[in-house]
Structures are given as structure tokens and as C-alpha cells.
Structure 1
């Protein structure tokens, strides 16, 4: 399969094989078959990064196979990318090749798009960006109708804005999110909607309060807040915390607090190992946590966080790495049973699998 093209005829069979592998891997902990959420077969990635290859005086988009970084594959389309990415790619490249200022020492081009039709283009250079670059980038921005961002070493030039605005329709509601360039967002928009919808269904009959670790920009937090009395969410990235605060206001949520703490720090705080100034004004003892939501990085939950999470009646565990989730289940399933089990096909045509679990105390 080409790096930028896919054979959609094989998708359903590949997804069935993923589901069977996941079911087998988790069979020691549950006899449930996973609820399977398929991706659109094409145009599913909302963000993409391309190296820029310079040859015979012209710039080209290029991709590389892992470990073969001296052998570029020149591309002019990216069928797994959103339709908007594919629409913008030739327009940006044509403008770059028409301008020596925009082309010179251009190293990479990044596209961030949304299901609701917004976009941001980031051009990354091995040179200092000057007023001439800014003038020509502004002209391109006006022509495209979407913002351009320039980056080079220790330099970030924001011409208009450094974020996109996403609107996700989930059930009867539409949620609005500010997504800042360089911060984490779910790359597959339809799978993101499926994950949030599944989590809301899991929590539909919930009561009490929700704790969320690794909340990012509030992707899950905001839609789930309506199912709980109060919500406390933590995130270590300052950019994501600031975005989450804006998203809370944009969606009119009034029962949610975000604090900038790592999962390890929150574990220390709730166990009263040491106080944190970032928790000033928040009384942890006033919460009646019935559910904890975790969506950790690929490394999974560290041992102390895993032990803390096991104290909650209900654990909603979204994972981008089933291998580390299985490692955590060796501990969590000593006290909890799996009640819901899902597969989210974030990256079709790859071996990558993402999973969701609801664990309930035995």
C-alpha cells in the first residue's frame, strides 16, 4: 500500500481481524466481545504533517518510510487526510513555489482541520522569518481564507490565530472546542465523536461526582459533565488547561473545575501526601467521586495512579495502547470486573488499536 493511498476493499476484513485480536488479548479478563466503532475508510485524519523536499528549484510534499529518511516519496494527495487537507495541499504548494520567500528553507508543512470546516496551516522553516515572509504569508492567508502560522527555531509568527474551532454533534447537542496548534487533539474526528458518544452512554445512569485525569482540552470532560453532580478534571499541559477553561465557558458548563496537575501529583494530593497551591480553593473532601475517567498516554497508568484509581466504584478507561492497559488490568481486575468493552479504530489500515473499558467494583 502506498504511504498516502489506501485500499478500501480490505477495510472491513482488517477491522474484523483487529476486533478478534483485541477480544483474544482481553479474554483472560472478560468474555465480552468488543463493541466495534469503525472509521470512515478515507478522509478520516484531521491533521497531517509533510516534510518538504526541494528538487530542481521546486518544493514538493514528501513522506518517508520508517528508517528510510534519505528516500523521500513525493506525493500530491493524501487520501487518509480530510477532504479539506486535500483541497488545501495543492493551493499551498503552488503559492510556495511561486514565492522564493515562502519556499526558501521551508522544511515542513502541517495542516490542522476540523469536521466543522475550519483549518490552520503551519509552515516550518530553517531560517528566521522576517517582514517580507510575513507580508507574503498574509497574502497567502487572504487567498486561502484560513490562517497561516510560521515557525522556525525559537520563533512563532501568528498572523491571525494559532487554533481551530471544532464543533462536534453528539446526540442532540453540539459541543464547541478550541484546538490549539501543537497541543493534543484526537486525529480521527468521527472516531472522536464515537468515543465521546460511547462514554456518555456508559455514564448515562451515573450519579455522584466525576474525576477525570489527563483531560486535555476538555474533549470528554465537557460532554460528560451533564451526567454528574460535579466534575473535577486534571491536566498537566498549561496550553491544554487554558483551552479547556475557554471550552468550559463556550459550552456553558457550570459544574466543572480544571486544575493543572499531573496524575502523580493528584494522587499525592488526594492521599494528603503534600499540599498544592494549584488546588487552592478546591476542597477535595467535598467531592463524592463515584466514577473516574482516565485516558492516559501510551505508557498507561503508573503504579501509584493505578492503585488510586482502583479505589473508585466505577473506572472508565480509554486507552491508546491496549498493551499497557492490559498491564494495568492485572491490578484493576483484582477489585473490578469489566462491564463494557469497546474498540475504536482511530488509525485504519494499521495495527494500532484503541480501546474503552468500563470497570465496576466487584
Structure 2
């Protein structure tokens, strides 16, 4: 992980600069004023990973300057990390440096924390993990009061759980989410709450059924399902599909069907180019889709999926990459108008912005 310097007194200016750049990048589009959603200026990241720099029999947390990935910088705290991460870091390091079995050949440490106070720490080694290691790690787990996962080549030892349960507050309702150690989750939980609230607000007047591509662990699926009759969601990751099904059950959502397939595959099924055994029990023609929700990876939507998306009256598009969003919108805006445009500052002090766009078919 690269170092990001934190200057809370400069937070608003750095965000203003990013919004100005975003507006400049989208000057070719007819769009309303950007709705801006801020982050906390400190302690906003719920996940973190550190290289463990070993020197003179002691381990240290280390990070890198962007572009200088062979020169580690020793750090004592991580101001962008959650308060729980910063509480655990010194306690963990002290315990590791008192125990050679836990310290030796340790090369990376990862933290996964939540607003609800849970945490998982993953210790990654260049050595086999023995029963003796597990006994010491279990003592460490009891000392810290968190789950510990040990990883090495072809090994995974879980002491406690390999997931946390996050609780996000959206419009006065609490939604619970299982977040698995290896699965993707939104790193800035408070901004995630704002993203979910925005998506709900943007879909208030939308009716019928919803198609969601790239549903992940059901982060958006769970709250959006409350606004639609039925939801069909797709996701390629087995881990994420399993978590999404767990999260639907946890939140008592019963109008969602999840299919494990890529957006490209589903687009082929929608166009009836291919039949898939995974869709054998699902009658696509029975759905009355009015809206599609997409939250693609940084590469954005492929051309075929863009064509499929353009067939819907309403499009909700959440993007982690304004550049690929702009590319996709050049095609989508041939048939749709931008009704709302939002920016979410998931990663303060970096150039990155997440965007949310509501589009509706031209009249």
C-alpha cells in the first residue's frame, strides 16, 4: 500500500480541486450540477495492508511512496485508517516483536474493520504455519479480542471468523453485511452509507423490476430491493455471491434472485445469443425490467453490455473510474439523458473519485 499524506486542514480544497477537474472532464455532457458527498478527513479507511519490514530482529509496519515501490517507509500510525486499525496497530506490533514464532518470516499484515467495532487481522508468511504457530496466534487473538487469520503458501488458518459483520445506517434503517476477508468491500464505510442513501433517493420514483450487474456482496442490492417488485442480480465471484445470499437473508430481503455469471455472459443471455444452465430455473421474460443498476470495475462496461444497458428506461451507474464512465456515457447519452450526477470522495488526498449517475430514456 502506498502512503497518502493527510492534511485535514486542506481537505475541502483538495476535494474542490477534484470536483473542478471532474466538471471539466464532463463538459461535453448535458448534466445537472454535481451533487458532492464528502468524507471524514481522517480515519476513513476500514481496510489497510502493510508490508512488514524486518530489521535487527524487529518487525515494523512499512508503506511505499507512489512510484517508489522498492523503498519502504517505516510508519508508526496510519491516520487515514479507522480508529480501530490505529488502536490495534501498536498492540499487534508489540505482541509480534515479543514472539519470534509470530514475527519470523512475516511479510505482510492486513486489517479489516467495521463501523460496528469488529475486526479481522491477517498475517501473511513466507513459511509453513505449524500447530505451534497456531497456539501462539490463538493467544494473540485472545489478547487483542479480534479474529486472526494466518496465510502462507497453500495454507489458511482461521482463528475465529474469516469475516466481519458491518452495520450501515441508511435513511434511519440499519443494514447488516457480511464482509469476507478476501472479498471486495467499499473501503470508506461512511461514504458508502452516503452512496447507498443517494442510490435509494435516485430510485424513489422508479417502478417495476430491477436488473443489477456486478452486485458483489449485495452492498447496493439489499437496500435497492426495497424499492422494486423483483430484483435479478449477477456476480461472477463465488465468495461474493455467497456473501450476498447471506446478506439478503440477514436483512430479510426475499425478492432477489442472484445468478453467478459475468455481465458479458448475462448480456449474451439477454440477447438470446447463448443459453446458460445457470439460468435454467429463471424465466427472464417474466421480469418487467424498468431499471438497470451497474457498478462495474475500473474498466467500465464492455460495448455489448453498454448496448444491453441502453435498452432500459432507467440506468443507475456507479463508477469508480470517471474516465471509463465518460467513455460509456458517450454511447449511453445517445439514447438517455443525465438526470442526476453525484461525486463521492471515497479516497481523500488522492485523485480518485467515485461517481453516481441516473439516466433516463430520452422522450
Aligned-residue offset at 1:4: 5.6
Q: Deviations over 1:107-128 (max 9, x none)?
A: 0000000111110000000001
Calculate the TM-score normalised by the size of structure 1.
Answer: 0.98
Q: How is 1:190-269 mapped onto 2 (pairs within 5 angstroms)?
A: 190-269=190-269
Check conservation: 2:141, 2:148, Cα contact below 8 A.
Answer: yes
Aligned to 1:135: 135
1:124, 1:288 → 2: CA distance?
A: 48
Q: 1: CA distance between counterparts of 2:73 and 2:224?
A: 43
Is 1:171 matched up with 2:171? yes
State the partner residue of 1:115: 115
- SS in structure 2 at match of 1:234: strand
Asked whether the 8 Å contact 2:4–2:349 carries over to 1, the reply is no
Aligned length: 361
Q: CA RMSD in A?
A: 1.0
Distance in 2 separating the partners of 1:163 and 1:280: 32
List structure 1 segments (4+ residues) > 6 angstroms apart after TM superposition: none
Q: Flag structure 2 segments of 5+ consecutive residues without an equivalent.
A: none
**Is it true that 1:272 corresponds to 2:272 in the alignment?**
yes
Matched, 1:356 2:343: no
CA distance in 1, matches of 2:148, 2:256: 33
Moved more, 26-35 or 78-87: 26-35
The TM-score normalised by the length of structure 2 is 0.98
Q: Secondary structure at the match of 2:71?
A: coil
Matches for 1:1-362 after TM superposition, within 5 Å: 3=3, 5-362=5-362
- Secondary structure of 1:64's counterpart equals strand
Is this contact kept in 1: 2:47–2:81, CA < 8 A?
A: yes
Aligned to 2:207, what secondary structure does the other structure show? Answer: coil
Post-superposition CA distance 1:257-311 (Å, at most 9, x none): 1110100000011111111111121110000000000000000000000110000
Q: Is the Cα contact below 8 Å between 2:129 and 2:150 reproduced in 1?
A: yes
Residues 124-174 of structure 1, C-alpha deviations (whole Å, 9 max, x = no match): 000010001100000000111110000011111112210010001111210
1:69 deviation in Å?
Answer: 2.8
